[in-house]
Amino acid sequence: MKATGTRPGTRPGTRNVRLLGTAELVSFLGSRASDLAMPLLVLSLTGAAAQAGLVFGLGVLARALTAVPMGVLADRLPPRTALAAVESARAVLVGVFAATVWLDVASLWLICVVTVADGTGGSLFRAAQTVAVKSSVPAEHLSSVLARLQFPQFAATLAGPLVGGSLFAVSPALPFVLDCVSYLVSALCSLALTRPPGGRAPVEAAATPLAGLRLVWRSALLRTVLLWSAATNAALGAVNVAVVVIAGRLGAGADDVGVMMSIGGCGGLIGVACSSYLAGRLSAPLIVRVVSWTVALVPLSFLLLGTTAAIGVALAVMFFALAVGNVVLGTRRIESTPAHLQGSVEGASHLVASAVAPAGPAVVGWALDAAGPPLAMPIVTLIAGVAVLFTLSRTFTERLSRRDS
């Protein structure tokens, strides 16, 4: 596709950034609706929190294990092609699954298969989007663009669970129908992307499967950030399962759970709006410490809160901190990565950051079945406490305070 000119006074890549933001918004909207519906569907079929945690963990594991090969693929394909193809494939996958739910023939094994396949597609979407951003946005605008691209994620976190819970209350199949349609719209937006000035790196310069892992291992900054992220992601996955189960035990329906998650999404949106301001005035180590302590302490508050609305407010505090932290760490990661290895490093980063993440939902699901929230929530805090310990070391502070050359 021919490159288009940039109007005077317009930032390079603005059109692509808008299209990427729109694709991400609609894709995440459907995904957040189905993310809420999936554990509710598992609980309705099995009645076991451990099974819901297992399914969630399988999705995380699939994204982690396929991150490296999908990252290499993203480096070798034009972003437009990769994004459009993967979103079209996910639309077909979720559409067929929605039909099985509608016909009341969905089973736990089918849910696991769909979760793994959708997670694999998510790995390619994430890597290809990162490649598109790196190739379309000048370095001086990277932080502000990443903040803008956080907005669709948290806007979807605000609206998606609310819509998903309401649709699930009408019919369990409807959230997945919405997810299917959202993937189709995302694919159309991806097809409208234009090639940035200068094009892509030639195929012979593209990454090998181990190139991203080598760069991550050699970069002190990336190693530090990703080891911290591994512990944090395990805790966040556990929180996602725990809040749905706890809300159900409080007598909340699917629509109430959606409202709770949407309240949390409001915190993320506010965090996105403040991220550029805070990132410019606070040090990166301080921001990451605040995120770590927030993720560690918020789950304990669930033991004291007796309504889904109050839990939603606690989630909003956590999502606010995460939104700011994501912009800071995402900017550092992309800036320190060569353009032709962007997808491979994104894949390798996701593999390392998600290596132990499936354990969080599985362990907490078991704890919820065995002894309820009084056992499960301290376990979440212990997992997040590993990330807190990382931030207390002088090495962590020094590495995050300087940018790799």
| CATH number of 178's domain | 1.20.1250.20
pLDDT of residue 120: 92
Burial of 9 (0-12, 13-18, 19+ CB in 10 A): exposed
Establish if 72 belongs to a structural domain.
yes
The mean-pLDDT minimum among 22-26, 211-215, 274-278 falls in 211-215
- Number of separate domains in the chain: 1
pLDDT of residue 196: 58
Average pLDDT of the chain to the nearest whole number = 83
pLDDT tops 70 at residue 12: no
Residue type, 16: N
pLDDT of residue 311: 94
pLDDT tops 50 at residue 178: yes
Task: Give the chain's length.
Answer: 405
Integer Cα distance of 205 and 188 in angstroms: 29
Establish if 259 belongs to a structural domain.
yes
Could you count the other beta carbons within 10 Å of the beta carbon of residue 48? 17
302 DSSP 8-state letter: T
Per-residue confidence band for 2, with pLDDT thresholds at 50, 70 and 90:
very low
Structural domain that includes position 115: 14-196+207-401
pLDDT of residue 9: 41
Integer Cα distance of 51 and 36 in angstroms: 15
Per-residue confidence band for 209, with pLDDT thresholds at 50, 70 and 90:
low
Find, among 184, 165, 130, 188, the residue nearest to 39 by Cα: 165
Integer Cα distance of 245 and 237 in angstroms: 13
Rg of the chain, C-alpha, whole Å: 20
146 or 184: which leads in pLDDT: 184
Establish if 9 belongs to a structural domain.
no
* Interval 129-157: pLDDT, tens: 888 887 777 766 767 777 777 777 778 87
| Residue carrying structure tokens 């903040």 | 147
Integer Cα distance of 155 and 125 in angstroms: 18
Establish if 183 belongs to a structural domain.
yes
The number of angstroms, rounded, from the C-alpha of 159 to the middle of its chain's C-alpha atoms is: 16
pLDDT tops 60 at residue 3: no
Establish if 6 belongs to a structural domain.
no
Integer Cα distance of 399 and 95 in angstroms: 45
Establish if 264 belongs to a structural domain.
yes
Establish if 201 belongs to a structural domain.
no
202 DSSP 8-state letter: P
Integer Cα distance of 59 and 139 in angstroms: 33
Q: Taking a C-beta distance cutoff of 8 angstroms, is the pair 280, 232 a contact?
A: no
Q: Name the token pair of 334.
A: 């992309």
- Tell me how far CA of residue 339 lies from CA of 116, 247, 275, 343, in angstroms: 29, 44, 25, 8
pLDDT, average across residues 120-127: 89
16-25, 100-109, 251-260 — which one is most confidently predicted on average?
100-109
Find, among 97, 102, 256, the residue nearest to 165 by Cα: 256
| Residue carrying structure tokens 């663009």 | 145
pLDDT tops 70 at residue 5: no
264 or 15: which leads in pLDDT: 264
Establish if 3 belongs to a structural domain.
no
Q: Taking a C-beta distance cutoff of 8 angstroms, is the pair 279, 143 a contact?
A: yes
